Amino acid sequence: MSRFLTPAKIGLLALMELYVEGAVPNDAIMPVLGFISSLLLNRDLVTAAASPSPAERWKRADRNIALIVSVKEFKKVLAPFAAADGVPGRRLWDRFLEKLWGIDSLHGLREFFDRLPNLIARTKDELRELAAHGHPPPVGVFLTRSSIFGVFVRRAHGNSRLLQLHQTAEVWKLFVKYRHPTAGHWRKRNPLYGRLSFDSVLMAGEQQWGNHTEAVAVAAYGDMLLVGDHDVTLPVTYDDVEALSEFQIDQMQKYGNRAPRDVRVKFQRLVKDSHFIPSLSHYLSFSDATRAGDYPMSFDYLYRYFDYTMQKSDRLFYQYALMNLAIVQSEFGSHEEAIDTMLETVSVARENRDLPCLNFTLNWFFHFGRAHPNLIYDLENSSMPTNEKASLAYLRVRARETGMWILWCSTLQSEAKVGLARGDSISAAMEDMVRSSQLIVLRNMKPMVGPQLIMRISLWDRLGLANMSSMSCEAFLRCYARNCLLEDELKVICRLAGLLAGKGKYEEAFARLEAIDPSTLCNAKTNQYWHFYRGLLKLRRDLHRGNLVSSETLLSQLLQTGPEDLEPDMVFVLDSLHMEALTRRGDLDAAFTKLDGLMAQLRETNRDISLRIRLLLIKAHIFDCAGRPEKGFSAAMRAARLAWRARLMSLIWQSLGALANIMNSLGEFEPAARLCVAILPRCLEADAAHTAGWLYSVLADARVGQAASAAAEEGHGGPAGLVGGIVLPMRNLSLEHTKQNHQQQQHGGGGKREEYLVQAHDALGSAGKYFADVEDVQKLCEVLAKKATLMKMMGQDGLAEEYARRYLLLRRGEGLEMYCG
Amino acid sequence: MGLSAKDSVHLKEALQVAVVKCSERCLYQSAKWAAELLDALPDPPEAELGQTTAGGSGPDVHPAFVPNVDPLEAALEAQELNKYLLAKSYFDCKEFDRCAAVFLPDSLLSGVLSAKQGDAETSKAKASTSLPSEQTLPNISQKSLFLALYAKVIAGEKLKDEDSEMIMGPQDLGSVVNKQLLIVSRFLERWFAERKTDDGELPASQGFLEYLYGMALVKEKNDSAALDYLMQSVHLFPWNWGCWLEITNLIARVEQLNKIAPHLPQNIMSFIFHANTAVNLYQQGQDLAASLTDLLNIFPKSSFLLTCKALLNYHSKDLLTAEQDFSNLLALHPHRLDSLDHYSNILYVLNLRPKLAFLAHLCSSIDKFRPESCVVIGNYYSLLSSHEKAVQYFRRALTLDRTCLSAWTLMGHEYVELKNTHAAIESYRRAVDVNRRDYRAWYGLGQTYEVLEMHAYALWYYKKAAGLRPWDGKMWQAVGSCLQKMGRERDGIKALKRALLADSYYDSTSSSFGSTGAVDRMAQMDPEVLLQIAAMYDRLDEEEEAKAYMELCVAQEDGGASGADVGGLADSVAIHHDFPGAGSDGEGEGAGDRAAGHEGIGVTPATSKARMWLARHAMRAEDYATATRLATELCQDGVEVEEAKALIREARSRMELGSMVER
């Protein structure tokens, strides 16, 4: 089997010959040349056109395979055009067939190859030589030597000369088979066509040999004639397979997606029929298996790949082999082994003085350390640069020295990320991002735009600018997604869905998630991520709706996914939801134990500051639920302080809300109300509906408290101690109690008090709206109960009854639509 | 003709026995040959067959499976059957040394040989003829002994191949020998000596051991002794084709063949042998053709005989017929690769490129590691002028089989094309060493030396070639040119005249050899040769002769012999037709009537040169009219127009001058 020449390439050469002969009519020139050059270019430059969509990319690969397999592909291009020679009814396709069938024997093929140099423009020397021999210089269109066509023709010619005879014969046999589907068409034009017409020698011999001809033909052509059309070997060469594998690997590495199933199946058939399997195809299988989440197979293929490449010069890249191995190990969750492998990589790379590899390794260690701080802990103390910042600065300098722009850029981004996580100055982080952004623009690193935007999205999130964040998401999806890793795209989509869900637009969020390109989900990791994220959204919704049973099931399913398979952020989200579920079920002990565990874990490692704040807030919340909010005071204070320092806006509002709540419980209604009023508008900006609802309900409590104290001042109300008595039962959600209290309040009143109560009612109304948005039934019930109580206090019994009825309805699980509407 | 049914049955039986016996002794090629021949033998008609079988006793065993007729041997064979079977299966698995060791363990062998050696020394010292060897020869059957010794030989051959250097590499001197041969021949020498009865008679044996000893002797270059033993062998067992082939290889000349012919057993095998050897010696003629036809009547489809016939046609330069023969053969046996290399030579000469490409494809699909396939492919590449590749394939052929004669010769040709004369000479030399009858190699050697301008050497080799192919004009032409260059015009003229005769001779034989509508080139003579002869006469200042030949040369343009009534050549042509074996039929009557139906060869450079010479000659002889006529003809032919015009002008002016003078 030849390395380069295939029947399809012979077809291309024949087409070029037609073109040079001037047989291609004017209107067909562009399509024909476009067809040829797209095929030739695809072989050499994958990214010829400006970033086509993934589907188009695969379609092209598909067409390449189709062309290798069948001659029909030529027909699609050529049949629509008439031939240039003016005979009516003759198509360009006919001329092409004439060319193909003109190659009528092995020797004909040889002559065809030997004729190839005639297609190429002569050099001056050759022209001089021709003139010396008295030949006129050739006229007509020619291909220049260094044009794409010229290079192809010369390469084909050179390759044809290198072939051994049996290889040429092999090409010839394949060509006969490749051409065979056109036999019917050819027979119509050529009445002399017979069974043995594919070889002129056989046809001539038929007269002499008679019925022995068949035996001779079988002897020469082997089983090809016996098996007939069912023969399965495809005319594929090493060159094709290599080009296709390179293309696929490129796709996988660049975009992280797998080939569509049908392309993959076709490709595997090609590989099966190729005599030489390039070692690259093992690498391809390895990547594919990794993407498919097939752990044992991917290891098998990786080792096989390195066994086959050991003999070549690739041995120098042993460190890269190790690096790949480490990445696979970490991807499949065996982190300790990954660390060992990576350390070996470092030592090997150091031995070979492979700076880029060292830099990559360091980068990997950095990211790995961020994801799994506990594992890296021992190392950090002994051998690694102790400080993250220092190691990043070192990495940045090295990347700049070695000209690894992508690494440089991602280091800057990492620096920004670390700064944010540690709660350092926002402007410093911003500066890093601007620098990386400048690098991206300067070096035109399209693939890096994705991470940059993701960084920016999270920055806006932290600053509580939800609009900016969702806008960035949209910008990414619309403009840059096709140049970026699929994983990034998926993450952005999930982020967007999360934002929508935060606003209570669950349906839209789910629609976003469902609308994702199914090819993305071929990949095991993305698939898992997607499912997990969907599960989380569902879980949150169920919790809000109070579907404790279904949420329990969902939670148990989600908890089965081990933390090693997930990103730490997701694990944290899951943990916090778990705690919320426990709280909602009233199992505060369990929730608190879990919280304690998480706190301890977090304290050991040096993680994102926002996580700590969140845990503190949850703590405060648990105390609140336990009816002793004041115990959460220090937690809330610390949370507020940390959040302020790190400018984590949405968290500040939450912690301040928690503070206000505690103040309420301490009877400090006035400052609590002031606090709530101050932060509410800022919180609304952050698009966090649940927080907003909660703040409103805290405000309402404060207002009621204020009303009580106003009444006390006016002397109508009971003793000041009662105030707590008013607020607390309302929080305890017991209707009877509130009613009782309400009766106690009945005779209170006056202008100030009324005003506060009306304000409280308004606040409750807003809170109810926001809770209804996020479908939080429990909170909504709370709000309704409070409203009913308020109405009772204000003496509007009818409305109070109405609220009480709605409350009951809601408790039974009906009537939520009314609020959501 | 055919055989009678009875004969046919006997022949069949004999061949069957031959196949069984040969394969019992692992003589695979001989067995194959016999089986092929057996297959080519048509079944006799049922009726006659019925008679013969009815005549014989009913349920007897097929003679191929009866035990040995010699009771002693039969007993031995029966006794050692187990061991024999073991040895045979080792041989079949290509474990030759192990096979040999079953019957002849190394200890035994060394004992025998040392005894022998000591014996030789004592015999030298004391000149006594007694054989007091303490180590006796093992008492085993001849069959087993043959198998063991043959395995030794084959093992030695294998070792030899492994030890050989790369073809034409710096170390490749062709001097690696089969080390086992010495042992085997010593052993057999002693065996024969011990068997010899007091009166010098040998008791009857099966013939195979003689064959083996003959082979060993051939390798030792002891040709006459070898021939003796081989002849003995064919007398004892005529169905061993390998033995016949060895004899063929020993015979270098027809005379030798004729000499030994009476001493051969008179049976069909000797008949086949005779025909085959004659073909290999480039013989041709009615008798040979007739005998081949006879044989083909008996074995109508025998691929071997068909090949012989095709080769006969090839050697008599009837390429088209030969091509057809081979083509038919190919259709009959599409998987047979033997002698397809000759076919490819024919296709090469006929320049049938697509067909040669097809043949190469066929060979390479059947088995690309057969020397024949490699030669065919090499020929194809040679035709495409890819000489490096051709050399590569010929080398491969030689790596597969160092005795592949045609590959050596063809490789020489390629090296000549590549202007690598040293390599060319070496390859030709190797070809000649392998087979001294290869005239192409001799001729090639001559050519190469001619290129190197070493004419004396070249002449020697050309003469060798001409000796092998006395009826090939090309050889004589080469000899003639060589002589001419050495300044020996007289001899040169003789040689060239012989070339002219030889050419016509071939034509007559080919036309008589059953090929219908043969290309009758007879009356044509090569104008080049004629011109050369004329030029030599010119150099010798024999103007008349020169003029005669020049005219003859010009006359070739239109129907050759119309001008053949010139001088001595007509006589020589007549002489040639009296040559025995040729013009025995009415065809070769005279040159004149034959020429009538001929078209000429048209204008060639040679004839134009001759014409120019004639015109000049006419000028010198002051025959201006003729000169003008010839020059005008030259102008018409468009050759050397300027010179011709100048001649015309000069002739005119001379004529005018003459007329003026007359006036």
pLDDT of residue B591: 36
Residue in B358, B381, B393 nearest the CB of A105: B358
pLDDT of residue A568: 76
Q: Do B432 and B445 contact (CB within 8 A), yes or no? A: yes
What value does the mean pLDDT take over residues A300-314?
Answer: 74
Q: Do A559 and A565 contact (CB within 8 A), yes or no? A: no
Is A741 in the B-facing interface, judged by CB distances under 8 Å?
A: no
More confident residue, B624 or B481: B481
Residue B238: DSSP 8-state:
T
Q: Count of CB atoms within 10 A of residue A793's CB?
A: 27
A411/A397 Cα distance (integer angstroms): 10
pLDDT of residue B278: 87
pLDDT of residue B92: 92
User: Where is average pLDDT lowest: A527-536, A588-597, B172-181?
Assistant: B172-181
Q: Do B564 and B574 contact (CB within 8 A), yes or no? A: no
Residue B551 half-sphere exposure, CB side, CA atoms within 13 Å?
17
pLDDT of residue B557: 72
A43/A151 Cα distance (integer angstroms): 13
DSSP A374-426: HHHHHHHHHTS-S-HHHHHHHHHHHHHHHT-HHHHHHHHHHHHHHHHHTT--H
What value does the mean pLDDT take over residues B325-332?
Answer: 89
Chain A residues in contact with B332 by the CB 8 A cut-off are 212
The per-residue pLDDT for range B476-485, each reduced to its tens digit, is 888 888 888 8
Chain A residues in contact with B381 by the CB 8 A cut-off are 165
Phi and psi (nearest 5°) for B312? -60, -45
B436/A9 Cα distance (integer angstroms): 50
More confident residue, A279 or A653: A653
A-B contacts (CB, under 8 Å): 77
Residue in A200, A208, A220 nearest the CB of B354: A200
Q: Do B45 and B5 contact (CB within 8 A), yes or no? A: yes
User: What mean pLDDT value characterizes chain A?
Assistant: 79
pLDDT of residue B32: 92
Residue in A104, A213, A220 nearest the CB of B361: A220
Residues B361, A202: C-beta atoms closer than 8 Å: no
B214 burial (CB, 10 Å; 0-12 / 13-18 / 19+) is buried
Residue in B328, B358, B364 nearest the CB of A166: B364
What value does the mean pLDDT take over residues B95-115?
Answer: 81
pLDDT of residue B596: 39
**Paired tokens of B441:** 């190699």
Mutation choice for A interface testing from B365, B373, B391 by most A CBs within 10 A: B365
Residue of B nearest to A200 (CA): B354
Report whether pLDDT(B556) > 50.
yes
Residues A212, B332: C-beta atoms closer than 8 Å: yes
Residue in A204, A213, A220 nearest the CB of B365: A220
Alpha helices in A715-796 (DSSP H): 721-732, 735-746, 751-773, 777-793
Residues B328, A209: C-beta atoms closer than 8 Å: yes
Residue with tokens 């083509």: B327
A616/A622 Cα distance (integer angstroms): 10
What value does the mean pLDDT take over residues A222-245?
Answer: 63
More confident residue, A723 or B225: B225
- Longest Cα–Cα distance of chain A, Å, equals 132
User: Which residues, other chains included, contact B78 with Cβ-Cβ below 8 Å and sequence gap of 6+?
Assistant: B67
The per-residue pLDDT for range A493-535, each reduced to its tens digit, is 888 898 888 888 888 889 988 888 777 777 777 888 888 899 9
Report whether pLDDT(B513) > 70.
no
A120 beta partners: A143
Task: pLDDT band for B414, please (50, 70, 90 cuts).
Answer: very high
B625/B662 Cα distance (integer angstroms): 16
More confident residue, A314 or A162: A162
B616 burial (CB, 10 Å; 0-12 / 13-18 / 19+) is middle
Chain A residues in contact with B387 by the CB 8 A cut-off are none
**Which is nearest to B639 in space by CA: B599, B600, B602, B603?**
B603
Residue percentage of chain A with pLDDT more than 70: 84
Residues B357, A106: C-beta atoms closer than 8 Å: yes
Q: Do A243 and A43 contact (CB within 8 A), yes or no? A: yes
Task: pLDDT band for A273, please (50, 70, 90 cuts).
Answer: low
Residues B324, A208: C-beta atoms closer than 8 Å: yes
CA-to-CA dists, residue A767 to A542, A684, A700, A764, A770, angstroms: 20, 12, 9, 5, 5
B479/A148 Cα distance (integer angstroms): 57
Shortest Cα distance from B353 to chain A (angstroms)? 7
More confident residue, B634 or A618: A618
Task: pLDDT band for B652, please (50, 70, 90 cuts).
Answer: confident
Q: Do A105 and B354 contact (CB within 8 A), yes or no? A: yes
A502/A690 Cα distance (integer angstroms): 7
Report whether pLDDT(A722) > 50.
no
Q: Do A96 and A14 contact (CB within 8 A), yes or no? A: yes
Residue of B nearest to A222 (CA): B365
Is B351 in the A-facing interface, judged by CB distances under 8 Å?
A: no
Task: pLDDT band for B50, please (50, 70, 90 cuts).
Answer: low
What value does the mean pLDDT take over residues A398-402?
Answer: 82
User: What mean pLDDT value characterizes chain B?
Assistant: 78
DSSP A62-131: HHHHHHHH-THHHHHHHTTSB-TT--TT-BHHHHHHHHHHH--SHHHHHHHHHHGGGGBPPPHHHHHHHH
Task: pLDDT band for A225, please (50, 70, 90 cuts).
Answer: low
Chain B residues in contact with A224 by the CB 8 A cut-off are none
Task: Name the E strands within A265-403.
Answer: none
The per-residue pLDDT for range A617-645, each reduced to its tens digit, is 999 989 988 888 888 899 999 999 989 88
Q: Count of CB atoms within 10 A of residue B331's CB?
A: 20
Residue in A161, A166, A216 nearest the CB of B334: A216
pLDDT of residue B560: 46
Report whether pLDDT(B489) > 70.
yes
Report whether pLDDT(B287) > 50.
yes
Residue in A110, A205, A216 nearest the CB of B357: A110
* Residue-wise burial string across B74-105, b where 16 or more C-beta atoms lie within 10 A, e elsewhere: eebbeebeeebeebbebbeeeebbebbbbbbe
What value does the mean pLDDT take over residues A546-570?
Answer: 81
Is A720 in the B-facing interface, judged by CB distances under 8 Å?
A: no
Residue percentage of chain A with pLDDT more than 90: 4
Report whether pLDDT(B378) > 90.
yes
Rounded to 5°, the CA angle A195-A198-A199 comes to 110
Residue of A nearest to B362 (CA): A220
Report whether pLDDT(A454) > 70.
yes
Residue in B356, B358, B393 nearest the CB of A220: B358
What value does the mean pLDDT take over residues A37-48?
Answer: 59
Residue in B353, B357, B365 nearest the CB of A222: B365
**Which is nearest to B150 in space by CA: B220, B78, B80, B102?**
B102
Residue with tokens 């007729």: B69
Give the distance from CA A7 to its chain's centroid: 39
Phi and psi (nearest 5°) for A120? -100, 140
Chain B residues in contact with A201 by the CB 8 A cut-off are 354-355, 357-358
Chain B residues in contact with A107 by the CB 8 A cut-off are 353-354, 356-358
Mutation choice for B interface testing from A110, A160, A165, A212 by most B CBs within 10 A: A165
Residue of B nearest to A173 (CA): B361
Rounded to 5°, the CA angle B495-B496-B498 comes to 65
A608/A610 Cα distance (integer angstroms): 5
Shortest Cα distance from A246 to chain B (angstroms)? 33
B414/B412 Cα distance (integer angstroms): 5
CA-to-CA dists, residue B307 to A137, B275, B317, B322, angstroms: 50, 12, 15, 9
The per-residue pLDDT for range A180-208, each reduced to its tens digit, is 888 778 777 777 777 677 788 887 887 78
Residues B331, A212: C-beta atoms closer than 8 Å: yes
Shortest Cα distance from A236 to chain B (angstroms)? 19
pLDDT of residue A807: 86
A776/A765 Cα distance (integer angstroms): 14
pLDDT of residue B382: 93
**Which is nearest to A758 in space by CA: B348, A18, A750?**
A750
Residues B361, A165: C-beta atoms closer than 8 Å: yes
Is B515 in the A-facing interface, judged by CB distances under 8 Å?
A: no
Number of H helices, E strands in chain B: 34, 0
- Longest Cα–Cα distance of chain B, Å, equals 117
Report A:87-116 residues touching B (Cβ under 8 A): 104-108, 110, 114
Residue of A nearest to B383 (CA): A107
B544/B104 Cα distance (integer angstroms): 79
Is B259 in the A-facing interface, judged by CB distances under 8 Å?
A: no
pLDDT of residue A249: 74
Q: Count of CB atoms within 10 A of residue B220's CB?
A: 14
Report B:390-429 residues touching A (Cβ under 8 A): 393
**Paired tokens of B291:** 């005998």
pTM, full prediction:
0.72
What value does the mean pLDDT take over residues B146-152?
Answer: 91
Residue of A nearest to B329 (CA): A209
More confident residue, A732 or A304: A304
Q: Is the dihedral of CA B250, B252, B254, B259 positive or negative?
A: negative
Task: pLDDT band for B131, please (50, 70, 90 cuts).
Answer: very low
Report whether pLDDT(B155) > 80.
yes
**Which is nearest to B398 in space by CA: B431, B423, B365, B429?**
B431
**Which is nearest to B15 in space by CA: B268, B214, B266?**
B268
Shortest Cα distance from B83 to chain A (angstroms)? 41
Report whether pLDDT(A153) > 50.
yes
Helix, strand, coil content of chain B in percent (nearest 5): 75, 0, 25
Residue in A107, A114, A166 nearest the CB of B357: A107
Residue percentage of chain B with pLDDT more than 90: 14
pLDDT of residue B51: 52
Q: Do B484 and B532 contact (CB within 8 A), yes or no? A: yes
User: Where is average pLDDT lowest: A29-43, A690-704, B135-149, B305-319?
Assistant: A29-43
**Which is nearest to A13 in space by CA: A70, A91, A96?**
A96
**Paired tokens of A270:** 């090609």
Is A170 in the B-facing interface, judged by CB distances under 8 Å?
A: no
Report B:367-386 residues touching A (Cβ under 8 A): 368, 377, 380-381, 384, 386
What value does the mean pLDDT take over residues A459-480?
Answer: 86
CA-to-CA dists, residue B571 to B549, B561, B591, angstroms: 13, 13, 11
**Which is nearest to A816 in space by CA: A805, A804, A806, A801?**
A806
